[in-house]
Amino acid sequence: MRVLLFFLLITGIIHAQVPTKRLLNFRVCYGNTQTLVVDSFYKLHQSDSIQIEELKFYVSGIRLWNGTKQVWKEDQSFHLVDITQPSSMQVSLAVPANLAFNYITFTLGIDSVTNVSGALGGDLDPTKGMYWTWQSGYINMKLEGTSNLCTTRNHTFQYHFGGYQYPYHVWQEVKLQVNKEQPLHVVFDVKKLMEQLDLVKQPEMMSPCRDAVLLSQQMVQFFKTEEK
Amino acid sequence: MKKTILLFGVFCVVLSGFTFVSTVTFFVPHHWPKPVYDFNKNPLSADRVLLGRVLFYDPLLSKDNSISCASCHSVYTAFTHVDHALSHGIEDRIGTRNSPTLMNLAWHRSFMWDGAINHLDMQAMAPISHRDEMNEKIENVVSKLQSSAMYPKLFYKAFGDSLVTGQHTLKAISQFLLTLVSAQSKYDSVMRKESAFTVQEQNGYRLFKQQCSSCHTEPLFTNMQFENNGLTVDTTLNDYGRMMVTQNKHDSLRFKVPTLRNIEFSYPYMHDGRFKKLSQVLTHYTKGIQQSHTVSKKLQQPIVLTSNEKVDLIAFLLTLTDKHFLFNPDYAYPKRILLDTP
């Protein structure tokens, strides 16, 4: 009897799919290589400068694909990536060992179902500063800083990209080719986004609108994988 | 005998795995529709409702600790404020809209006069952070609650965790709001065939069903839709209602249809509190409709009521007063907790 129990226990351990932790690392750069440093001066266009004080965005619904077949998806997948919080730049994924995959996808922002689900916890807690109060809905990406181009008080710019209701739903899918043998490194080039913004005419965007949708569609192209 | 002891032992072990939560059953009045609030995601318990009630009455939620939710939502006036046409915030700041009544909220999908808020849980965020209301950040509310002597204990009792979070704070406030059910007016007892309308009330009810009920639909006395009821634009406010949320010109001057329950006590009326008396409201509907491309279909033809009919209609509206609701001790200021704690 005891032998049988022992045998069952051992086979149970062997058969259980022990997930391996895979780290998904995010990095924000300015231009091709430089990692963005908060409050540092960067050149924009020919002769203008910017400083970025805050950049955070939601990554949700992380999935792995083998060709066109989805092979893994994370449950309760909501991560707030904040450049001022180094720990948030690394997301730990419980992926089964030996899983074959060559693509990763995730949503940049928060989907509409989650947006209408009431008070949520963890990275979705409204105390994270990523929830609009005057009109319900998550802010998908917050980008704030200063530039000599801005005629606002203290030359600040504030972009809060969000919105979940038609026609101003802004969450977008990011799809990147990955090598499963390598650590997962994803880099976002914020310079490319800055180049799309009109700091003179529109230094602030604080509500769901057509421009937020158009910019979000472009934003997903500024994510790349990199090998380290 | 041995077997009995063993069974009892197993029973005790199983039992010790549970913490006892005194659950509160949400009662849906007879013939009412199913609530839209998902109680599975926020199951009611006596401790959570109590925590929500304490938060509702605590001015700690405002930036200078001077204003609570109850400042603008007083139980005796169906959880609205009767002294001010427009809401009144910290440092005597005045908002742009009349504070709405709070009742039967489990049946609502959207909140505020323009429906800007999509879930009851998120509603409290708006007045807490509005500059002219409480002007406070939810992050600061959470840290004030965490550092108080009383709240970590109340949060522990309610959620099994003394760590205060934004999620638990908002869910607790929702729990108290969900218990604000008004369904014991004279109208309700007539519908349950426990009493009868007077002749005047009965005539008023007939007129109501002809002229008003397409928007103020029974039993909640609102169709939950956004309608333009033909009010002229107040040029000191320039409030275009729903359009400011959807940016759709078809929503211009549409506001959420308010419930008529407890209307006797919830004056002044309309989104900007422009009418103090029900007779003024009826005069608006018979003589004051400003036609425009978004005016509610029902108001495109004039409503005709004789002065006697207006009196009868008002007599019916007064049957929507629910004294059990207005004087319910379960909704009152929780002085045992808020005053006794240092």
Please report residues of A whose CB lies closer than 8 A to that of B247: 168, 209
**Confidence grade of residue B171 (pLDDT, cut at 50, 70, 90):** very high
The pTM assigned to this predicted structure is 0.88
SS3 state at A115: helix
Q: Return the pLDDT at B172.
A: 98
Q: Looking at chain A, which residue has its C-alpha nearest residue B37?
A: A118
Nearest to A172 by CA among A134, A122, A222: A222
Q: pLDDT of B289-311, one tens digit each?
A: 999 999 999 899 989 999 999 99
| Chain B contact for A19 (CB, 8 A cutoff) | no
* Mean pLDDT, residues A77-82: 97
Q: How many CB pairs under 8 A join A and B?
A: 70
Nearest Cα residue to B53 out of B34, B68, B39: B68
pLDDT at A120: 96
A7: pLDDT confidence band, cut at 50, 70 and 90? Answer: low
Residue B15: band (very low, low, confident or very high) from pLDDT cuts 50, 70, 90 = very low
Q: Do A126 and B166 touch (CB under 8 A)?
A: yes
Q: What is the pLDDT of residue B114?
A: 95
Q: Complex ipTM above 0.85?
A: no
Interface test with B, best of A113, A114, A125 (most B CBs within 10 A): A125
Do B167 and A119 lie within an 8 Å CB cutoff?
Answer: yes
For B116, the closest of A115, A131, A134 (CB atoms) is: A134
- pLDDT, residue A17, reads 56
Portion of chain B with pLDDT greater than 90, in percent: 77
Task: Say if strands A48-66 and A69-73 run parallel, antiparallel, or are unpaired.
Answer: antiparallel
DSSP B212-223: TTTTS-TTTT--
pLDDT at B26 over 80: yes
Local structure of B314: helix, strand or coil: helix
Phi and psi torsions of A201, nearest 5°: -85, -30
Q: Per-residue pLDDT for B249 more than 90?
A: yes
> Using one digit for the tens of pLDDT, what is the confidence trace for B263-288?
999 999 999 999 999 999 999 999 99
Q: How far apart are CA A175 and CA A63, in angstroms?
A: 10
Q: Are B166 and A117 an interchain contact pair (Cβ–Cβ within 8 Å)?
A: no
pLDDT digits 0-9 by tens, B104-126: 999 999 999 999 999 999 999 99
Cβ count near A116 (within 10 Å): 16
Are A120 and B167 an interchain contact pair (Cβ–Cβ within 8 Å)?
Answer: yes
* Mean pLDDT lowest among A109-123, B85-99, B125-139, B227-241: B85-99
Lowest average pLDDT, out of A33-47, A75-89, A194-208, goes to A33-47
How confident is residue A30, by pLDDT bands cut at 50, 70 and 90? very high
- List of chain B residues whose C-beta atoms are within 8 Å of the C-beta of residue A128: 166
Strands, sheet with A184-189, edge to edge from the N-terminal-most edge strand: A90-96, A19-29, A184-189, A223-225
Question: A186-195, B66-75, B175-184, B193-202: which has the minimum mean pLDDT?
Answer: B66-75
State both tokens at A180: 């499963």
pLDDT of residue B322: 96
Contact between B165 and A121 using a beta-carbon 8 Å cutoff: yes
Which stretch of B90-94, B189-193, B333-337 has the lowest confidence by average pLDDT? B90-94
- Cβ atoms within 10 Å, residue B286: 17
Model confidence at A214: pLDDT above 50: yes
Question: What percent of chain A has pLDDT above 90?
Answer: 76
Helix, strand, or coil here: B179?
A: coil
- Closest-approach residue (CA) in chain B for A164: B118
Average model confidence (pLDDT) across chain B = 91
C-beta atoms of B121 and A209 within 8 A = no
| Selection from A24, A80, A23, A90 nearest residue A55 by Cα | A80
Neighbours of A156 (CB within 10 A): 15
Cα angle vertex A140, ends A86, B140, to 5°? Answer: 70
